[in-house]
Amino acid sequence: MKRALITGITGQDGAYLAEFLANKGYQLFGTYRRSSTPNFWRLQALDILQKVTLIPSDLTDMSSLLEAVTISDPHEIYNLAAQSYVGASFYQPMLTAEVDGTGTLRFLEIIRHLKKNIKLYQASTSELYGDSINRDGRQDEETKFLPNSPYAAAKLYGYHIVKIYREAYGIFASNGILFNHESPLRGLEFVTRKITNAVGKIKSGFEKKLKLGNLESARDWGYAPEYVEAMWLILQQSKADDYVISTNETHSVQEFVEEAFAAAGMDWEKYVEVDELLKRPKDVVHLRGDNSKAKEILNWQPKVKFKKLVRISTVPTLAE
């Protein structure tokens, strides 16, 4: 039986990946951060908690990571744990660097020292591109990286250190350069869930307004359960490599707002206000991926596109 260790199993992707790998027959181990209040609601929502051996661990604490790898003795490590909120990285840049940058190095060092054939998936991100686009207005594996936030800079370190260890030591380590992916399990601070949650609350009379920052910002938004399959496919290849995972479409925050309010039969302009304080010191304004490589080599492509994604994210909030 194959064994997988998932860091960040309590997050959106961790929970969906755990569900996906359990269905593939994996023995599952997951790291979580000990806290005074248990945080397993996503694993409970997917009815997966009982199938996972949980190991308390923090990406800043080398000994707890070594303990997690020793206990799980994994064939595959999916390093999903991160300070994943771009906005917060401007307030906690050093923590973000420690977790998202050096945290990746810690796993590579563990694999190097243990000399085991452990495959590593690194959760890289379209935020690496910043304002950089190809001539056709898209971003692929060859597009240069121009990070725009402490989060992106830390993840860029993670991206490069994975490549360096792959080339220098022959470790099977791959970066998935994933564009934004959303779901009803997305954290409430991210813009799609912030919008859909507000739509549900406004519709049922609990809230009156929704304050947002930059409405012009455009993202390539996909559906998280499809993206975790891509993570798995990346580790099933004969050779470690880096892949863009995206829908190849781009839509603005305002378009998301329009669709989500329309799904609830409401006119967004009556409820949405722009709050300058919610704008970031530096934002990424246009993301649109090119997933040709993933399509060709992984045989992966997304089925859920923008309008369906907005409905999947919004409808549960109306039923709550």
CB of 195 closer than 8 Å to CB of 263: no
Which of 75, 54, 57 lies closest to 67, judged by CA?
57
Which of 120, 49, 52, 127 lies closest to 84, judged by CA?
127
Select the residue interacting with ligand F7E from 160, 163, 194, 282 (CB under 6 A). Answer: 194
Residue 127 interacting with ligand F7E (CB under 6 A): yes
Residue 228 interacting with ligand F7E (CB under 6 A): no
Select the residue interacting with ligand NAP from 43, 69, 111, 123 (CB under 6 A). Answer: 123
Q: Nearer to ligand NAP by C-beta: 81 or 111?
A: 81
The option from ligand NAP, ligand F7E, none interacting with 289 (CB < 5 to 8 A, set by class) reads: none
Q: Which residue number places its CB atom closest to ligand NAP?
A: 11
What's the rounded Cα separation, in Å, for the pair 228 and 234? 10
User: Least distance to ligand F7E from the beta carbon of 237, Å?
Assistant: 22
Residue 70 interacting with ligand NAP (CB under 6 A): no
Residue 282 phi, psi dihedral angles, 5° rounding: -150, 125
Residue 73 interacting with ligand F7E (CB under 6 A): no
By rule CB under 6 A, what string of x and - marks binding of each residue 252-291 to ligand NAP? ----------------------------------------
In the 8-state DSSP scheme, what is residue 295? I
Cα-to-chain-centroid distance, residue 73: 25
What's the rounded Cα separation, in Å, for the pair 98 and 150? 11
Alpha helices (H) in the chain, listed in sequence order? 12-23, 41-45, 62-72, 86-89, 93-96, 103-114, 150-169, 191-203, 224-235, 253-263, 292-293, 306-319
User: Least distance to ligand F7E from the beta carbon of 287, Å?
Assistant: 7
Part in contact with ligand NAP (CB under 6 A); list of ranges 75-83, 230-238, 283-291, 297-305: 75-83
Residue 117 interacting with ligand NAP (CB under 6 A): no
Helix (H) / strand (E) element for 54: namely strand 52-56
Active site residue 196: no
Active site residue 16: no
What's the rounded Cα separation, in Å, for the pair 217 and 278? 13
Binding site for ligand NAP (CB under 6 A): 8, 10-14, 33, 39, 58-60, 80-84, 99, 123, 125, 178, 180-181, 187
Residues near ligand F7E (CB under 6 A): 84, 86-87, 125-127, 179-180, 189-191, 194, 212-214, 217, 219, 253, 278, 280, 283
